[in-house]
Structure 1
């Protein structure tokens, strides 16, 4: 189906605008792609679904890609996925090869982005076609598996990760139990406000926008030093696409790792970047040079963290399970439009599925054009003072939360409550991505659990005897838990 039969000129423009804004926000230390989408999500309420997806996909791609700018120039990861970009990007800047480092990262980003898009295009429909035949038992076990994956990636804090996910599930159950319409877990006096529980969108915006602003404010919001950075002191060391001739396997391997890690619920971009970088070091002919300003390390990190974009969308669009906190927020966009995400999504919404794929193509091309040819200007973004930006963001969050359900003041209080929790949680060991995924999956887990028991007459053995798919899922669950326990012990010993 031709691209312009799905994407309108307005959706292409919004996608381009989203990429631009995403790059700007990703380039400002402390601002992330997740925050960008959370802030702009309320605006999509009045948009056509294709237009809103164009804007949000643009913000996603631009936000992830923009994080390399401060990573290379200031040694500060603009986004968590840019962590390993600092290892070789900043040393290259110190050598006078800042422009070369940025262009290497941008090129690796578009390669990783298109690789993951290809995997998404072919794999998501195949996975969805299998998942269509899943009963409520298999759907419940998939959610259990997603929660065990959260535990397996909770480095050094296995119990913390599990507790965070269960806490999110517990809070998601506040409200009315659909089977008998009885209220549960609701504080006295808030029955009217919490009849349907906490609204997802104010919770998302509070955790990732207000919470992040409070954390950044605690560290201080002094204006960034307007130091001058010569992006190309070394005039002999210019960027050339020929550099990638010797990086084919590195790009391919790192893109695969990024896509695969993106498919695992709750893992996040930093894990993709770290895993790819460590594998590059294992396979490198000169591993001792990595970390001293080698393009090889930069290629690995950036191709992996852009590879996770398509990977994270696979479980979201085929199973209804978010791959990371950013795709969790995208669920809110579909809910605003009354669209249910799950195994039937792709077959029931062919135009929207095509729109997502085309939006990713437009977003990746826009990202490359904007950053590659205007990188000298985007490099100046890192010096915008936070005290100018943060008040604007707070106002946008409050207005958006109030308007999202046609003027409900309790949604503003929800925003502020969860914004405060987003600030407190990291201090007491509660992991926000794990909490959020538990919050999103909690009501679904309850529904499928109850439906399974109804179908079996209350027999719990149905979860173990419902056919080969259930057995495979139990093997995955046991394997994930075992890995989590072993990895947690190794981490504690290393510490």
Structure 2
């Protein structure tokens, strides 16, 4: 099939009534999740993941979860601009200038710029995915066990390097994730590992249960502990559509933000948050009036909003073409594929073309839905901030418990979630980012599998990883990244950047 035929297939799949409905549910729910501070897409996808197996086809499930992800990036900007309360980490940068614009009576303009920038970035990012997916999938077929092993090592190292906070803590979380991923029965020998004689652990811990506990239940504990910090605003929205001068200021910033987001979203450990921070810093450097940033600069809203939306969408590229998650959200997307009996990797394009191209086409439709639906509903999203914690918390608890139980209809999943939730909350207090842990859990079994395959092919010789050119290059890049980030000067600059 040629490119045009693939796009037509994708659009035909995306506009089916069931898929349109689930796309709509995903973007609306994603916007609502983005508006509510603290309750992010990761925890929500973890809660909904088991339910998608019961109520949706694979196409509809992936379309809904994807819409929830990029919809949350859009929703986070609303409260960031109106009440200086970012609903998502990627919207922290948007709040710097968006809230200042709101204080000057230009809240509607800031929201309009954010919406248009996000739609432009989403359209471009969707095109990038459609164009880049096929060549990358073809390249992936040339990968052997050694190349896949090295690629996953690079992904884990990149997750460590790009994680916030201490490098040692991020590395420790990756190693812990790899160890958790080893729980269960060894496929080759049939011996059980780390099961402690508990039959329910013979098949390992389900990633959805771990995600629900570490991100869902732990999020609930944080929400309860921070009750009373929500804010509301009565500031007038004002004019939504920007004038020509504002569009001239926003357009180049949105274009550059789209480029940064499209590139950084593909990187392991990258995604929406990193893209928004980098694009804002670049715009401030390039601006002829950098002193205006932080005081209501239009470019300070357009660039990060374009970057986080583009980064959120292009992070699907390595997941769809290589079966490699670039961030924890993509790790859950891989889990969603597996729940529906689909093996992630380059074969998805050929074995499930309707899912592959339907998901890509749905991203453009979902971005259009976000623009058409959300600007008129701004008042509704703001009023959601007034939902008291005593109402929100039981609802989250119920969905988390249902999600954990429904994985295999076992109360054991709920009991095991309790200590994991306590650990998740403790990691937050210790500034140990849990994202590398999830990547380690997902990639651990695959890493072991490809390592064993490579060793069988080489008859036990470790030189296979440096003899193969692609494998050697990937390992060299990983080593260079680890050495560079360990340098004292780089560490200090990195800590300063994340602190800002």
SS of the aligned residue for 1:193 comes to helix
Q: Secondary structure at the match of 1:161?
A: helix
Q: Which residue of 2 aligns with 1:485?
A: 486
- 8 Å CA contact 1:71–1:78 kept in 2: the answer is yes
The alignment partner of 2:151 has SS state of helix
Whether the 8 Å CA contact 2:83–2:231 is kept in 1: the answer is: no
Distance in 2 separating the partners of 1:98 and 1:69: 9
Counterpart in 1 of 2:5?
none
Deviation at residue 178 of structure 1 after TM alignment: 0.6
* Pair 1:257-2:260 in alignment: yes
Change (3 A) 1:414 1:241: farther
Aligned to 2:321: 318
User: Which whole-Å CA distance do the structure 2 matches of 1:230 and 1:85 have between them?
Assistant: 19
Instruction: Give, in angstroms, the shift of residue 461 of structure 1.
Output: 1.1
Between 1:250-259 and 1:407-416, the stretch displaced more is 407-416
Cα distance between partner residues in 1 of 2:437 and 2:149: 18
Within 5 Å, give how 1:22-171 maps onto structure 2.
22-46=30-54, 47-171=56-180
- Mark the CA change 1:290 to 1:127 in structure 2 (over 3 Å): closer, same or farther: same
> 2: CA distance between counterparts of 1:59 and 1:241?
32
Residue 218 in structure 1 maps to residue 225 in structure 2? yes
**298, 301, 307: which is aligned to 2:301?**
298
1:460 maps to 2:462: yes
Render the CA deviation track for 1:376-418: whole Å, top value 9, x for unaligned.
Answer: 332322222232112111111111221122x112122233332
1:154-208, Cα deviation, whole Å (9 max, x unpaired): 3451111111111100111011111011011222x41x11011101111111122
**Residues 377 and 6 of structure 1, relative CA distance in 2, 3 Å threshold:** closer
Distance (Å, rounded) in 1 between the aligned partners of 2:79 and 2:493: 33
> Distance between the aligned counterparts of 2:244 and 2:187, measured in 1?
58
For structure 1, the 5+ residue unaligned runs are: none
Post-superposition shift, 1:227?
A: 4.5
Matched, 1:185 2:187: no
Whole-Å Cα distance in 2 between the matches of residues 441 and 489 of structure 1? 30
Corresponding residue for residue 470 of structure 2: 469
The structure-2 alpha-carbon separation of the partners of 1:62 and 1:238, relative to structure 1 and needing over 3 Å to count, comes to closer
- Correspondence for 2:181: 172
Gap runs ≥5 in structure 2: 1-7
SS of residue paired to 1:292: coil
Tell me the number of residue pairs that the alignment of Structure 1 and Structure 2 aligns: 487
Indicate yes or no: 2:404 matched with 1:392.
no
1:4 shift after superposition: 2.9
Give the whole-Å Cα distance in 1 for the aligned partners of 2:223 and 2:495. 29
Q: TM (normalized to structure 1)?
A: 0.94
Q: How many Å apart are 1:120 and its aligned residue?
A: 1.1
Q: Deviations over 1:52-110 (max 9, x none)?
A: 12221221121111001111111111001101011101111111111111111111111
SS at 2:203's partner residue? coil
Q: CA shift at 1:238, angstroms?
A: 6.0
What value does the CA root-mean-square deviation take over the aligned residues? 1.9
Q: Please, what TM-score do these two structures have when normalized by structure 2?
A: 0.93
Judged with a 3 Å threshold, the aligned counterparts in structure 2 of structure 1 residues 211 and 144 are, in CA distance, closer, same or farther, namely: same
* Contact 1:90/1:293 (<8 A) preserved: yes
* Distance across 1 between alignment mates of 2:176 and 2:411: 25
> Secondary structure in 1 aligned to 2:450?
helix
Superposition deviation, residue 144 in structure 1: 0.6
Q: Distance in 1 between matches of 2:386 and 2:288?
A: 37
Q: Specify the SS of the correspondent of 1:239.
A: coil
| Contact 1:71 1:82 survives alignment (8 Å) | yes
SS of match in other structure, 1:212: helix
Q: How many angstroms does 1:426 deviate by? A: 2.1
Distance 1:425 1:381, change over 3 A: same
